[in-house]
Structure 1
């Protein structure tokens, strides 16, 4: 897991470093550290979150290992599977 605020002191530097990590295949998903939710990088809900709360993952498995759940907006199918498992 990589925190956005660890990627540079300014928003411009963070953005450049995020692009580099995406191109290099080091991150494929983003998450909200406070809510413990992960989703696609292009999720409109994720784009609105505070940079201090944004984290990045290489894989869905990594996000799940960290205790995050799928986003109900951009990962609807995975979210419904998660919800069914949680309910028992």
Structure 2
């Protein structure tokens, strides 16, 4: 996980082009999504973090975005619902 505040824009673009950064997340809300997500683009830079993979985001305790990752969000929500029923 790389906080946006700790990386220069030039280095960030390089990491995105190389595929080293695949997703962005909101540090406060613990939500991750695609770099192209409208919701993600509106968040404050101080709240934005970057991930190299889905596995990294999940390992760090983030959930999928309900806007840009609808299928992953539905799976996450379904898993959470079944856990709460037990």
Partner of 1:48: 42
TM-score (norm: length of structure 1) = 0.90
Unaligned runs of 5+ in 2: none
Aligned equivalents of 2:17, 2:73: Cα separation in 1: 26
Aligned length: 82
Query: How is 1:1-88 mapped onto 2 (pairs within 5 angstroms)?
Result: 1-7=1-7, 14-88=8-82
SS at the partner of 2:78?
A: helix
CA RMSD of aligned residues (A): 0.7
Runs of 5+ consecutive residues of structure 1 not aligned to the other structure: 8-13
TM-score, structure 2 normalization: 0.92
